A = this chain, B = another copy of it.
Amino acid sequence: MSTETSPTPARLNHAAVVALIGRDIVNGKYAVGEILPFEEEFVEKLDVGRGVIREAIRVLAAKGLVETRPKRGTQVLPSSMWQLLDPEILFWRIGQDFDPKFLRDLTDLRSMIEPAACALAAERASDPELQLIAALTRELNYAKDDELAFIEADLKFHRTIMQSTHNEILVQIGVAIESVLRLSVEVTVGIGHGRRIEEHEKVANAICNRQASKARNAMADLIGLNVLDIASILGPAFSNPKK
């Protein structure tokens, strides 16, 4: 039995290396401007072939995290170059801890995008999409006692609105925003969703009646609630984050 403990130390594959180094960069273990270890060092430290390291660094470069140059090595780029909305980078940043500053940035974005998207959806949504939105508000009601189902329905509600704008870019930003959204739902677990459901219904009704500005305002109200919820958990660090 003891012979089975480590059949082979489970060599890292390319994706694991990307995550390993990527996390260390976005979390500041490697400072901006710093040259990170040379290929050969990674090769022996992680016990993988050089190709794996190279491909991993290529991926990081594609995401704007690093830049490679002969003789100088691989340098960490300023964070203004990072593709912050890239799902992986987002995951590395959110997964770790909730940097209040970054959370506020995402909330800013959400406050700009979602209300405006509701207005667009009210104008552009197809009839089937409107029906889907209406159906989802009902589903929210059914699921109000099942936390997990409620969260999923909530997320799908917002996602559907984004899709109803018929704007590829907005759909994508919507996916990025989902992490804040999920947080704002999760922090309210157990305190009842009555108010939340009401607000969702207002949004849905406005969209389905094609009242653009009403939909915008309703969503702004909804987000306002969420922001209060988040702020009550994170305290002043969120509303007024350290620079």
A residues near B (Cβ < 8 Å) are 14, 51, 54-55, 58-59, 61-64, 79-80, 82-88, 102, 104-106, 108-109, 111-113, 116-117, 120, 165-173, 243
B108 adjacent to A165 (CB under 8 Å): yes
Given that A58-B59, A62-B62, A63-B62 are known contacts, is A79 also in contact with B168, CB under 8 Å in the complex?
Answer: yes
CA of A170 to CA of B101 in the docked complex: distance in angstroms? Answer: 13
How many copies of this chain sit in the oligomeric assembly? 2
B166 adjacent to A84 (CB under 8 Å): no
Give A120's nearest chain B residue, CB to CB.
B108
Q: Which secondary structure characterizes the binding site on chain A?
A: helix
Q: Which residues of B contact A111 (CB under 8 A)?
A: 116
Give A114's nearest chain B residue, CB to CB.
B112
A85 adjacent to B169 (CB under 8 Å): yes
Give A106's nearest chain B residue, CB to CB.
B169
* 3 shortest interchain CB distances as A-B pairs: A112-B116, A62-B62, A59-B62
| A51, A102, A167, most chain B CB atoms within 10 A | A167
Partner of A85, one of B85, B112, B113: B85
Q: What is the distance, in angstroms, from A53's C-beta to the closest C-beta of chain B? A: 11
Q: List 18 A-B contacts (CB under 8 A).
A: A51-B51, A55-B58, A58-B62, A59-B61, A62-B88, A64-B87, A80-B171, A80-B172, A82-B172, A83-B85, A83-B86, A84-B168, A84-B172, A105-B168, A105-B169, A108-B167, A108-B170, A113-B113
B243 adjacent to A170 (CB under 8 Å): no
Give A126's nearest chain B residue, CB to CB.
B243
